[in-house]
Amino acid sequence: MLDTSLLRKELERIAGLLKTRGFSLDIKKFEYLDNCRKNIQQETEMLQSKRNYLAKQVGRLKAKGLDVEDLISESQAIPAALKNLEHKLSSLSDDINDFLYAIPNIPHSSVPIGLDSTNNIEIRRWFPEGMSINSEPKPFDFVPKDHVTLGESIGLDLDLASRMSGSRFLFMKGKIALLHRALSQFMLDLHTKNHGYEECYTPYIVNASTLFGTGQLPKFKEDMFAVKQGGLKHIEPLENDKFNEEQQYLISTSEITLVSSVSGSIVSVDSLPIKLTAHTPCFRSEAGSGGRDVRGLIRQHQFDKVELVQIVHPDSSYEALEIVLSHAERTLQLLSIPYRVMSLCSGDIGFCSAKTYDLEVWLPSQNNWREISSVSNCEAFQARRMKARFRDKNGNINYLHTINGSGLAIGRALVAVLENNQQSDGSIVIPIVLRPYMDGMEVIIPS
């Protein structure tokens, strides 16, 4: 969440920055809540001062043998009044926090201004040798098949998955399942052995408070799968939209668990940067997808992803952002998949993000670029919600900065590999880096 002291000092400027995100900050409400807080604190301080004054007066008058019953009676009423103010401040703090928790991060000064994806800016493109003409994708000399047609010939079964679980699930067997596993193993090996990340195995189910800390709740509650012991159950709307700490959810990304590894901690500056990676399934209800990509692997309720997280000193977070981006790019380069880098505009970056790059891969069947990775710098936004801090060499305690990125979404990487490596007979040439994970297989021949 945002720093409240920054809001108090630069309220109009922050409201203007948030407006570029399409978010209207209720300035009057913030001022009202903050003034109420000040009044309660001032009243509390006055009563505390009065209590101390009366205590001294009682002692002084008693020493002189004077009557102090009225002063004692007056002082005895103060604890109850202070307790009442304490309850008021606690209730008001909840209201203030609810207000703050709904405010997205402010965009970094380098982020393009715009309200939707049409204002995103392309930074660069990359093509394997021979796969482009004048920086445009080179067309096939045959009509390319889509990934569903290609996948079904090597073990993809969407109908079976649909009968088991409904739409937006997949069942893979045989060669395509092996290729899917090869992608995850390759990515983990690349990021741990070449890029210096520590591999983690994390829970797939987390408490609401964990999701609250990383910013998924309360904003994205409708996109999460809620879980109860005994099975999945419909979860009633939470009273006053407040999160229930006892509720549990399936993770929508291992960013949640990796970033939360420092929740409530004060780490040493010498331990930074902390670089973590994990391969997990991810679960998203896709409630807001508007019917897009119903067919195929692009938009699934359950998918796998290798996540990259760096937890860093604030002074190095934008350098770290570029490094994480380069690690995701290197993954695509080794897979020989054409891609482009997009800098997202202020209206298109995620709720927690101050700056985001998207990597988009070329899909021949769609004649279009599709997102495969987002790399974001959340600055101190998540750390402030999680109370994740570091102690510098002078003993000062400050909030950490968090960077996350997909390195990569495995299902979408599978789509890109199938479509960009297809041959006219429907066979798939396996990228060289994946062959050691597939027993040396060079080409997948359709059944």
One-letter amino acid for residue 60 of the chain: R
Taking phi over 0 as left and psi of -120 to 50 as alpha, with beta for the rest, 443 belongs to beta
- H-helix or E-strand spanning residue 406: strand 401-409
Tell whether residue 374 is among the known ligand binding residues: yes
Tell whether residue 394 is among the known ligand binding residues: no
Q: What is the DSSP letter of 167?
A: S
Tell whether residue 442 is among the known ligand binding residues: no
Q: Locate 270 and state its tokens.
A: 């010498």
Tell whether residue 91 is among the known ligand binding residues: no
d(CA 198, CA 191): 8
Q: Locate 49 and state its tokens.
A: 């001062």
Q: Which residue has the tokens 């229930």?
A: 244
d(CA 259, CA 137): 37
Tell whether residue 424 is among the known ligand binding residues: no
Tell whether residue 44 is among the known ligand binding residues: no
Tell whether residue 285 is among the known ligand binding residues: yes
Tell whether residue 307 is among the known ligand binding residues: yes
Burial class (CB in 10 A: 0-12, 13-18, 19+), 213: buried
Tell whether residue 379 is among the known ligand binding residues: no
Give the chain's end-to-end CA distance (angstroms, integer). 53
d(CA 257, CA 211): 9
d(CA 365, CA 360): 15
Q: What is the DSSP letter of 357?
A: E
Instruction: Specify whether the CB–CB gap between 405 and 323 falls below 8 A.
Output: no
Query: 389 forms bridges with which residues in the sheet?
Result: 266, 399
Instruction: Specify whether the CB–CB gap between 263 and 254 falls below 8 A.
Output: no
Tell whether residue 340 is among the known ligand binding residues: no
Tell whether residue 286 is among the known ligand binding residues: yes
Tell whether residue 253 is among the known ligand binding residues: yes
Nearest residue to 190 via CA among 316, 319, 308: 308
Tell whether residue 404 is among the known ligand binding residues: yes
Bond preceding residue 272 cis, omega within 30 of 0: no
Q: How does strand 389-391 pair with strand 266-268?
A: parallel
For the annotated binding site for ATP, the residues are 284-286, 371-374
For the annotated binding site for L-serine, the residues are 253-255, 284, 307, 404, 406
For the annotated binding site, the residues are 253-255, 284-286, 307, 371-374, 404, 406
